[in-house]
Amino acid sequence: MCQRGVDVYNTLCDDCLRKLPRTEHHILRENNVEMLFNEINNHPRKHWDRPRFVRGGAWLHYNDDVVKVIHAAKFRERPELAEFLGRQAALEWQETGFFDDIDLIVPVPIHPRRLNERGYNQSEYICRGLTSVLNLPIDTTTLRRIKNTPKQSQLTDAERKTNVERAFQIPEPICWHKKHILLVDDVITTGATIRNCIKEITPIRSCRISVFSLVVAR
């Protein structure tokens, strides 16, 4: 961010790391991320053991400096930035209980064609950073992206909601029976991507869902 050199291990200097705009979502329940997905718990259920939303949060607010870092991680072949930020978020939130009872960390998948083009999924690198601190397993195979949609960042809010409809699939839902899943993404704007992932999880009995993002845009 400041254009000064850093050592091999770090990707942001201490000054820049301190300046990142924290949300404090780990101690603020009913924050704007949770409010996007709390509707899951408000719908009438036919069965007591249907999926339940537990908690949600983003580590950082959206600003120009954060955008530069996220874009470098996502589009400029710097996935180690995503891993570094995931690790820092886990270090800061670990003692607050936000990650308690999580069984699996699940990155929001990208389509195989885009994965081949980019070479990596930045959300998976965020998960690597989280688990380097939390020591939790990462599941990159159960939730799949089957629709190669246009980039969400290039669409309006209304277009984002329809763009990712039926874009995800869980071929073997039994894998997540009675599991607490942490869905991980890089940026949450309207919540459309996560919401459509959750729709695929909904038929899984006794599955609990939490959400973590590096950044929340609004």
* Contact assessment for residue 167 and residue 196, using Cβ atoms and an 8 Å cutoff: yes
* Contact assessment for residue 65 and residue 1, using Cβ atoms and an 8 Å cutoff: yes
* Contact assessment for residue 152 and residue 213, using Cβ atoms and an 8 Å cutoff: no
Please report, in angstroms and rounded to a whole number, the separation of the first and last CA atoms in the chain.
Answer: 21
Predicted confidence pLDDT, tens digits, the chain (218 residues): 787 777 666 678 888 899 999 999 998 878 999 988 877 655 555 554 456 889 999 999 999 989 989 988 888 888 999 999 999 999 999 999 999 999 999 999 998 898 888 899 999 999 999 999 999 999 999 999 988 765 545 555 555 556 567 789 898 888 899 999 999 999 998 888 998 898 888 788 788 999 999 999 86
The residue to which tokens 């409010």 are assigned: 35
Domains and CATH numbers, the chain: 14-216 (3.40.50)
The amino acid that residue 142 corresponds to is T
In whole angstroms, what is the distance from residue 97 CA to residue 102 CA?
A: 10
The amino acid that residue 20 corresponds to is L
Whole-model pTM: value is 0.88
Residues 6+ apart with CB under 8 A from 133: 87, 90, 91, 94
3-state secondary structure of 17: helix
Q: Read out DSSP for 40-108? A: HHHS--SSTTS-EEEEEEEEEE--HHHHHHHHHHHHSS-HHHHHHHHHHHHHHHGGGTTTTT--EEEEP
Find, among 20, 92, 29, the residue nearest to 57 by Cα.
29
